[in-house]
Amino acid sequence: MFFRLRSEATIRDTVEFVGVGVHSGRQTNMRVLPATEGHGIIFKRTDVKSNRAIIKLSPNAIVDPTLCTRVVNNDGISVAVVEHLLAAFRICGITNAIVEVDTDEIPIMDGSALEFVNSFKDVGIVYQDAYIPAIIITEPVSISYKSTHIMISPADESSVSLKLSYDRINPVIGNNNSYSFYLDENLTKLASARTFGWIADYEKVRAMGLAKGTSEENTIAIAMDNTILNKGGLRDPRELVMHKCLDLLGDISVIGLDIIGKIEGVNPSHATNNMLVRKLISELNKHEVVYPESRTSEFLCKIA
């Protein structure tokens, strides 16, 4: 098996975003700053005391992944709805960045990762000398929970293939219920897939203290008769399953290493994505982790 480790990368300059928190409903100001190689992704809450403000990305930092992915530090300081930003980082190849945010939630923007991706590409990506270690999957890793099943299998390349199949979604998407891609492809189209929800669930979710910032500007709204209420409809007939792929891409990136294997799933959720990552980490000795031997030249790995 031959594969090339990815270079670490950051952005060339600071990028600023202003938007609403989809759950809090509050205006959120966010800055993404460049970072040195080996830094990783760090979240910094600018509205709390500096000695408690830093949240380092890791699988163990994920807490209560209900309708979003939330990361928390040892002081209980958290940032929610990180998944679209993390997916944008992965799509752009960004591995090192500082994310400053003045509330406990990343702005939802239009419900996709597209504005993040476009802004990072506009400012420029800087490739660094270090390389990202990779986990070569040597035996299947799987999670089954209720209607969800998700698995990583050995493969020569990194790919994702997801399918949605449950009673309320089938009338909405019909045969447009599956989507597959390789992680080394241009994934800008995937970045444009928006989050979605049912009008019938709106009041129930608001009663949970969530979705206070939801609107048709940032969420695909599905009516009682299964029609799409947003002006212009869907951006792609497969947009709903594409968004689940986008969420998965962001959720698995918390691991901080590339995964060489095939990820397949049915009806994935943030909770099961996190369960899969945690299981993979707990069984890491069953797989092969490849570290770069050189930090200054392109590294081509060979695994017998």
Enumerate the active-site residues. 270
Distance CA 40, CA 202 (A): 36
Cα–Cα distances in Å, from 200 out to 28, 66, 205? 27, 18, 10
Distance CA 134, CA 256 (A): 9
- Residue type at 69? T
